[in-house]
């Protein structure tokens, strides 16, 4: 179930998914000879959760990509990187595999066929030595999570991934790996390496590289910020904006009858980014696992304490969620655009052109 709030658009194509067989299964085999403690990081453009940037194989089965759920009926852009993760020095990986680069890493090849809804498929990816194909960032830079209000003490070390926006493809394929080094307080030095071959081969699919740094706290709050790679040949980067705040959800005082109003702290401000566009998403999940996504364009800057009223479906001949314990979470997306407006935009671009993303820990609402 998906709702769009406060839109003046004359035509709306909603990001719906079927209630039965909404995903397909995808597994894979990775051809390489691992050293002890080495694993592979695999990136896909079709993860069922588009905010996922990579999955890691295990030390016990480094060559096996266990089956995971993906968005069906979409060409699969798959990449893989071999190394000891998280890395601590450059280059951050030794071998690479790119489904569209062929088994030799030099031959433009069609993407892997997607699984059908409810079906499973597999892929085979050869990870070859990265000699001559790896570029390091030209210099480390600092990311400070102090602006991420609502984010508690960071658990472990932030993750760093280098991802790509590839024209014609949904999602963002993994293009490299980075690492964060603590420099004091909430500040980290960021560095990384990426696969230049993607930009060299995919000239007919214009590609933009991003360095993505993500921090989590023990409660499950998440803040992610991406920095532009200006020149893929040299590794020069450019700052975008500060790390995002968390849309902290206020815990309700008791049971609620009907569609609830959800109070939270609005820390999303599109004005912080030149060409910025902001979308907020509330997701409610009922005891049976059915989801209700409520989306809206956030154009009021960081408004602080605010509330969003979920629509009343009782008079709309629409079957809402089941009563009981609902898990409520809110995500904020800030992304680049040169053409979208509040009445003319694409939902998919909040993933493909993402600059900052934050998610508040889920809270339980009792609905009766």
CB atoms within 10 A of CB 148: 25
SS3 label, residue 174 = strand
Indicate the burial class of 92 (C-beta count within 10 angstroms; 0-12, 13-18, 19 or more): buried
Peptide bond into 45 cis (omega under 30): no
CA-based Rg of the chain, rounded to a whole angstrom? 21
Confirm if 326 and 320 have CB atoms less than 8 A apart.
Answer: no
Q: What is the pLDDT of residue 346?
A: 84
Confirm if 215 and 116 have CB atoms less than 8 A apart.
Answer: no
Q: What is the pLDDT of residue 111?
A: 95
CB crowding 51-75: b at 16 or more within 10 Å, else e? bebbeebeeeebbebeebbbbbebb
Q: Chain centroid to CA 77: how far?
A: 15
Q: What is the pLDDT of residue 235?
A: 97
Confirm if 117 and 24 have CB atoms less than 8 A apart.
Answer: yes
Output the 3-class SS for 282-293: EEEECCCCCEEE
- What is the C-alpha separation between 189 and 39, in angstroms, rounded? 24
Q: What is the pLDDT of residue 341?
A: 79
What are the distances in angstroms from CA 87 to CA 33, 95, 114, 260, 280? 19, 14, 31, 45, 33
What are the distances in angstroms from CA 36 to CA 60, 89, 178? 10, 18, 21
Q: What is the pLDDT of residue 199?
A: 67
Domains and CATH numbers, the chain: 24-238 (no CATH), 245-367 (2.60.40)
Contacts with 199 (C-beta within 8 Å, 6 or more apart), sequence order: 207, 209, 232
- What is the C-alpha separation between 73 and 203, in angstroms, rounded? 24
- What is the C-alpha separation between 199 and 15, in angstroms, rounded? 30
pLDDT in tens for each of the 368 residues of the chain?
889 998 877 788 877 778 889 999 999 999 999 999 999 999 999 999 999 999 999 999 999 999 999 999 999 999 999 999 999 999 999 999 999 999 988 899 999 999 999 999 999 999 999 988 899 999 999 999 999 999 999 999 999 999 999 998 999 999 999 999 999 999 999 999 999 877 677 777 888 999 999 999 999 999 999 999 999 999 999 999 999 999 999 999 999 999 999 999 999 999 999 889 999 999 999 999 999 999 999 988 888 999 999 998 887 888 899 999 999 999 999 999 877 777 788 888 899 999 999 999 999 999 99
Confirm if 175 and 210 have CB atoms less than 8 A apart.
Answer: no
Q: In the structure encoding, which two tokens stand for residue 230, read together?
A: 């200006």
Peptide bond into 345 cis (omega under 30): no
């Amino acid at each position: 179930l998906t709702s769009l709030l406060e839109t003046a658009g004359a035509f709306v194509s909603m990001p719906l998914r079927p209630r039965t067989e909404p995903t397909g299964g995808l597994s894979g085999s990775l051809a390489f000879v691992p050293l002890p403690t080495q694993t592979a990081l695999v990136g896909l453009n079709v993860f069922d959760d588009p905010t996922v940037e990579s999955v890691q194989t295990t030390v016990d089965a480094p060559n096996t990509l266990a089956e995971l759920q993906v968005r069906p009926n979409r060409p699969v852009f798959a990449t893989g990187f071999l190394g000891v993760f998280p890395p601590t020095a450059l280059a951050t990986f030794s071998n690479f595999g790119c489904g569209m680069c062929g088994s030799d890493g030099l031959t433009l090849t069609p993407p892997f066929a997607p699984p059908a809804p409810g079906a499973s498929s597999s892929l085979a990816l050869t990870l070859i030595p990265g000699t001559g194909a790896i570029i390091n960032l030209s210099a480390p830079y600092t990311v400070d999570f102090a602006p991420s209000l609502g984010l508690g003490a960071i658990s472990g070390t932030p993750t760093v991934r280098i991802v790509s926006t590839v024209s014609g493809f949904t999602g963002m394929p993994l293009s490299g790996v980075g690492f964060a080094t603590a420099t004091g307080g909430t500040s980290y030095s960021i560095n990384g390496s990426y696969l230049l071959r993607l930009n060299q081969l995919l000239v007919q699919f214009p590609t933009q590289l991003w360095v993505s740094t993500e921090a989590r706290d023990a409660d499950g709050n998440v803040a992610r910020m991406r920095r532009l790679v200006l020149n893929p040949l040299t590794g020069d980067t450019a700052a975008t904006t500060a790390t995002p705040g968390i849309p902290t959800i206020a815990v309700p005082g008791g049971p609620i009858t009907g569609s609830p109003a959800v109070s939270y702290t609005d820390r999303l401000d599109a004005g912080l980014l030149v060409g910025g566009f902001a979308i907020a998403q509330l997701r409610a999940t009922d005891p049976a696992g059915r989801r209700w996504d409520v989306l809206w364009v956030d154009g009021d800057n960081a408004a602080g304490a605010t509330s969003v009223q979920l629509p009343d479906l009782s008079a709309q001949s629409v079957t809402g969620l089941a009563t009981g314990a609902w898990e409520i979470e809110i995500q904020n997306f800030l992304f680049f655009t040169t053409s979208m407006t509040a009445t003319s935009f694409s939902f998919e671009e909040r993933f493909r052109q993402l600059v900052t993303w934050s998610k508040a820990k889920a809270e339980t609402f009792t609905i009766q």
